Amino acid sequence: MEPAPVPVIAVTGATGKLGGRVARRLAARGVRTRLVGRDAGRLPQVEGGEHAQVAGYGDADAMRRACDGVGTLFLVSGHEDPGRVREHQIAVDSAVAAGVERVVYVSFLGASPDATFTFARDHWYTEEYVRASSLRYTFLRDSFYLGALAAMAGDDGVLRGPAGQGRVSAVAHDDVADAAVGVLLGEGHDSATYEITGPAAITLTEAAEELSRFAGRTVTYVAESEAEAYDSRASFGAPEWEVAGWVTSYRAIAAGEMATVSDAVVRLAGRPAQGFAEYLREHPRAYAHLAR
């Protein structure tokens, strides 16, 4: 009798920083994957990887085709948008219709209906929708990314925002990817929620000090009021909902909603998570805009 085929793992967001990392790690372990993205031409070429082009999570027919024959869906959250939760729901419905058995969803630390960070609310509503579905599930609530923390500092060497002296347990994409692979290929993760964080929670003053050390110039943190934060970002021309997301990410730090530190990376990836200094040492491009 022929052995049963190993179920395919579909990886969404495979052209991005997280999905691409997960796809390459799965391929290195000989796992059959289907890489899902908006542009098939940009999807990574990996051994045993099929490609599926989807216009977006809201394209129910394309998402269902992308999920045909898939056992597990690795669902990277969509780009921030007022309709993002509905698009996530369509993606979940499409996976169920295609016969997918399990979803591993990339959520956000502190996801709740009343989270200070407005985008974190989207993740909670998505989690609730997944819980109500027939899918087995695991939620990876990752913290703020270390690369984004470095990018908060402007070319003028100032990191500004209403974060007060709150702390953030920022995490590296590599650590989230390795933790995700541990869940995707491991057992005993059904109905689990993991907080994926760095090894320590730091203030933005401490982040500025580390950036100063690596960039070779003084980088400072300026604690704005909420009103000042909105004013300083008004010139960007971004829609109101997007600016609110930016500002409330700092306010969530001030409120202590991003300070949680967990050992999930150690438990799922089998190694310690990277701290900010280690990340900057290995990723000089993260602070290239600051270097003289």
Task: In whole angstroms, give the CA distance from residue 103 to residue 10.
Answer: 9
**pLDDT at res. 152:** 95
Residue 231 is assigned to a structural domain of this protein:
no
State the CATH number of the domain containing residue 191.
3.40.50.720
Residue 74 is assigned to a structural domain of this protein:
yes
- Choose among 153, 183, 150, 167: nearest CA to 74: 183
- Choose among 279, 277, 72, 263: nearest CA to 179: 263
Tokens, residue 56 = 């977006």
Looking at the 3D structure of the chain, how many domains does it have?
A: 1
**pLDDT at res. 292:** 64
Residue 216 is assigned to a structural domain of this protein:
no
Residue 279 is assigned to a structural domain of this protein:
no
**pLDDT at res. 3:** 45
**pLDDT at res. 97:** 97
**pLDDT at res. 6:** 60
- In 178-242 the beta strands, taken as DSSP E runs, fall at 192-196, 202-203, 220-223
What is the CB-side half-sphere exposure of residue 197 using CA atoms within 13 A?
Answer: 19
Give me the domain span that covers residue 116: 8-143+172-197+260-274
Going from the first residue of the chain to its last (292 residues), give the mean pLDDT of each consecutive group of 10, the final group possibly shorter. Answer: 67 94 94 90 83 88 95 95 96 97 98 98 98 98 97 95 98 98 97 98 98 96 97 93 96 98 98 98 96 74
